[in-house]
Amino acid sequence: MSGIFRESSAPYVLAILVGALSWLLNSAISELKNTRYIEYSISYTGTGKDREATVTLLNRSMSQPIDFGFFGFECLRATDAAGPCFRPLPESGQMVEFVRSGSIWMNSQPRSVATDTFNVDAVIPPQAQVSYLMGLTGDDAHVRVGYDLTSLKIEEVRSLKATILVRGPTLEGFILANYLKIIIIATIASAGLFGLWLLLEIVGSLPQRIATAIKDKTIKLIGYLREKIATYRWKNGRRTFAFPFAFLLTSMTVLASLPTEAGAEEIEIITKTNRNIPVEAAIFRRIQGSDWHPISEYRRDSTGIYKVKEPICNESVEYRVDVIQESAYVVMNESVSKTCTTPQVVFTNFRMVKFVTVKILNHKREPADEKRIDLEKFTEKDIWLTAFGSSNEAEINAERFSAQLASAIGNADYGKIAILGSEIASQLRDAGKPQDAEVFAALSFDATARGAAIRQNVDTSSVEFLVFDPLRGSVVLSEQGKALVRDYQAGQLGFEASSPALGKADWKTMRSLDGGQDVVSSRVRLPEGAVTEFRTEPFLSGMK
């Protein structure tokens, strides 16, 4: 429900249910208002010959008077009892006498119509009552109440509205007796609840510091109101205004006790390398030294940028981050934790594995030297701009390719890196630039072997993936690299032992690795007009 001012949807099902229940309740009350609803009660006092009964008849109707027929009182005893059931009352000498009750009454004198049976005229104004006191002859005597309509003509009976005589108390009688009070209380309560909801929504839309200040002020005001309510009730000895005060106090207590989730601030958690390359990471949170728990609810705007809702942002809230999977390109220097600060919490405790190492073989195919290609150069726009030279849209292309490589390395998207390297290497070979092609071929082979190793949970820290074969004059996978790719292809991709692609960085293998499924070839290939002028020297400058 929080943030409903910014949402386009509404709780339609809830609105329909509330509307239907309100309609049903209103219809039921309307029927009751137009019904002659008579509720009676019988109370007994005394024992033996002092036993008495008081019958009270209440016209619960809001607009319909009782002005026809007779109420009958019949005294009943056990079947073997002898003698009369009613007895004269000691003060008046009457067996049944009218007594005043309530604030509105009409005196209707009882009359005997049969042995142990008395009638009175049925005359009661709306919302009024009448009572009758009766003397009884023993503990086994009890009174039965009836409503006699035999004096009415058939036409009069047909024109009568619904008439109900029931022994109370009943729920219907309570509703009719307190109808106006219920309406007033319900109106005040609805207005109060709506006001509370509106206040919560407004507070929820405020910055967290302001919302917290309002909450603190509310808690202080609650204490003040409690003291005033107690003082008022003690001085006046009554509870006339107890409900409004209690409702206000309850509403404010709800406001004060709610966590400021609706008013939570949005905290931006940024994860990147010490060279500002965004890194995909797992985020953990804890409060005041408790156990760490992963954050599962967040909004990810782009690689390395996570936005989380924090009800209270202060030193009691801590975050730490970790790589999602052990990356062969990005590693964490050390695990650090940081307290919540607004509007950002920045982690730079990651670094990129700087080099793709190529072993140089001699004529005996033994390692004789090694060269290392700096990976970070592939993420720098200025290096790509130099590589594109004076080709058309060099600025745009440099921005696009540096961003793609930075994102792929930060996300450990080995498949995307492998396909990009393979596509550019193929373009450069077709353009008659085999030496330039080797740089991107090395990038492609390295990403394929590293991706296969990660899929098999192999530690890559001591693996040599690439060698330069002087007999072939090209970069190829080392024996270790081939073995990793071969095992991955056979174990997870279902390659046959006789497959010519086994142990090679083929298209299916590259596509199966992380990030490879979403690659569009045209997006990772050099523009046709830029291939002839494209140079790889900028990527190799300073190469060891």
- Whether 501 and 509 have beta carbons less than 8 Å apart is answered as yes
Lowest mean pLDDT, pick from 182-196, 267-281, 350-364, 518-532: 350-364
Beta strand 344-352 with 367-374: parallel, antiparallel or unpaired? unpaired
Mean pLDDT of the chain: 79
494 pLDDT higher than 80: yes
> What digits encode the pLDDT tens for the residues 197-222?
777 667 666 655 566 666 666 666 66
Q: How many C-beta neighbours within 10 Å does residue 176 have?
A: 23
- pLDDT of 510: 93
239 pLDDT higher than 50: no
134 pLDDT higher than 90: yes
More confident call, 451 vs 473: 451
Q: How confident is the model at residue 4 (pLDDT cuts 50, 70, 90)?
A: very low
- Per-position DSSP letters for 376-437, written without gaps between them: GGGG-HHHHHHHHTT-TTHHHHHHHHHHHHHHHHHTT-HHHHHHHHHHHHHHHHHTT-HHHH
- Whether 139 and 76 have beta carbons less than 8 Å apart is answered as no
- pLDDT of 245: 53
> What digits encode the pLDDT tens for the residues 67-119?
888 999 999 887 677 778 999 998 888 999 998 877 776 777 898 888 889 99
- Whether 447 and 417 have beta carbons less than 8 Å apart is answered as yes
Beta strand 163-167 with 36-45: parallel, antiparallel or unpaired? parallel
Cα dihedral: 377, 382, 388, 390 (round 10):
-160
Q: Which of 30-34, 136-140, 351-355, 357-361 has the highest mean pLDDT?
A: 136-140
Q: Which of 100-104, 226-230, 368-372, 474-478 has the highest mean pLDDT?
A: 474-478
Q: How confident is the model at residue 290 (pLDDT cuts 50, 70, 90)?
A: confident
- pLDDT of 26: 75
Strand partners, 460: none
- pLDDT of 236: 46
More confident call, 490 vs 68: 490
6 pLDDT higher than 50: no
Q: How confident is the model at residue 8 (pLDDT cuts 50, 70, 90)?
A: very low
Q: What is the mean pLDDT of residues 249-262?
A: 51
177 pLDDT higher than 70: yes
d(CA 308, CA 261): 12
250 pLDDT higher than 60: no
Q: How many C-beta neighbours within 10 Å does residue 36 have?
A: 23
Q: What is the pTM of this model?
A: 0.47
Q: What is the mean pLDDT of residues 456-483?
A: 80
DSSP state of 278: B
Lowest mean pLDDT, pick from 338-347, 369-378, 443-452: 369-378
Q: How confident is the model at residue 358 (pLDDT cuts 50, 70, 90)?
A: low
Q: Which residue has the tokens 């008046």?
A: 92
155 pLDDT higher than 80: no
- pLDDT of 435: 83
